[in-house]
Every structure is written in C-alpha cells, then in structure tokens.
Amino acid sequence: MPPLTRWFIKVSLIYLVAALLLGAALEARTLLGLPASVNTLRPVYFHLFMVGWVTQLIFGVAGWMFPKASPQRPHGSHHETRKLWGRLSSLPWDRLARRPPMGKSLPHTVYFHTSEVASWATFGLLNAGLVLRVISEPLGALRPGSIWGWLMALSALLQWLAGLAFVLNIWARVRVR
C-alpha cells in the first residue's frame, strides 16, 4: 500500500470516529440538556462522515487499486499526465473561449511530476478545507457576518480544488483494458 493511501485511510478512520462522536453528542443534546446551539454542528456531522470518511477512503483506495499508470510510475506518471494535457489542449478552446488556440504541447514544467504532486495536493486541500469547515461553519452560524464567513468560503474553495485535483489526476488511469 503506497504511503499516501495509508495517510488517506488512517485520516479517514479518524474522521469516522469524530463523526460518530459528534453524532452521539447531537443525540445526547436533549437528554443532557445541552444548548440548542449544538445543533449548528449537524452539517459538520454529515460532512465529517461523507467527506472525511467516505470520500477520503475512496480517494485513498482508488489511488492504490485503480489500473496502474505504468510499471515505473504505478501511481501516476509524467506520460499519463502529458496525455491528459494533450487531450485538454486538443479541445477547441479557441472556439469555446474565443482565445488563440493552445499549443500542441505545454511547457515541460507544467506537467512534470504533476501526478505525485497533485495526489498530495488533493490530500492537503481536502483536509485543510474540511478542518476549516469544522471550525468555521458552527462559529459562523453563531456569529453571522464575521471572519468565519470568509473562512467558510475559503473552506469551500479548498474542498472544490481537492475534488478537481483528484479527478484530473486519476482520470487517465480509468481506461479500458
């Protein structure tokens, strides 16, 4: 199992425990007479479960189990990423965006080792975004219009980038054999 997959899986298990603890706290609110503001944690509970646990586990296992990019670089390769960029650059961008056509190849630095970097970036972005959400969403609900609103927007951006990085990175490994 590659190191990054181990990170994804172990962190996903921590989120599962956190989600279940939070679920228990939400259930115990009425029994223990906890304040109603505890309910602001309900969206956090759902997202700890579905993003922190399920999605993160999928990202980790997919990086490990999906068809290998090449024997030399099993979890991503310069070549595969170059092929993906090649496909992207062959799209009719000039017609779509009214820009000059892109070159047939991109500068070497653009795609060099993108796969490994993008995999770690996915992990970092997803977890930074989720932790930021766990902190900012309940506090933003209690104090609307404060700095927490900005942090919620930043959390949204980080998680969106994580999804995009994962898909762009693994797309070339989903192929017919």
Partner 1 sequence: MPRLSCWFVRASFIYLILGVTLGSLLLGHKGFSLHPAIWRLLPAHVEFVFLGWMAQLAMGVGFWIFPRFWRSRGDERPAWLGFGLLNTGIWMVAAASIPGAPAWLSLLGRLAQVGAVFCFLVHAWPRIKPSGA
- Structure token digits, residue 115: 């796969």
Q: How far is the CB of 33 from partner 1 (least distance, A)?
A: 27
The site string for partner 1 over 57-96 (x = CB under 8 A, - otherwise) reads -x-------xx-----------------------------
Q: Which is nearer to partner 1, 101 or 177 (CB)?
A: 177
* # residues contacting partner 1 (CB under 8 A): 33
Show the tokens assigned to 41: 């944690």
How many Cα atoms sit within 13 Å of 57 on the Cβ side?
10
Q: Give SS3 for 72.
A: coil
Distance separating alpha carbons of residues 105 and 125, to the nearest angstrom = 28
Q: Rounded to the nearest whole angstrom, what is the least distance from the CB of residue 46 to partner 1 in the complex?
A: 10
Stretch that binds partner 1, among 23-31, 98-106, 114-122, 151-159 (CB under 8 A): 151-159
Query: With binding defined as CB under 8 A, does residue 124 bind partner 1?
Result: no
What secondary structure does DSSP assign to 112-136, as a single string?
Answer: TTHHHHHHHHHHHHHHHHHHHHHHH
Q: Work out whether 50 is an interface residue with partner 1 (CB under 8 A).
A: yes
176 binds partner 1 (CB under 8 A): yes
Burial of 142 (0-12, 13-18, 19+ CB in 10 A): exposed
How far, in Å, CA of 15 to CA of 28, rounded? 20
Residues that bind partner 1 (CB under 8 A): 50, 54-55, 58, 66-67, 133, 136-137, 140-141, 148-153, 155-157, 159-160, 162-164, 166-167, 170-171, 174-177
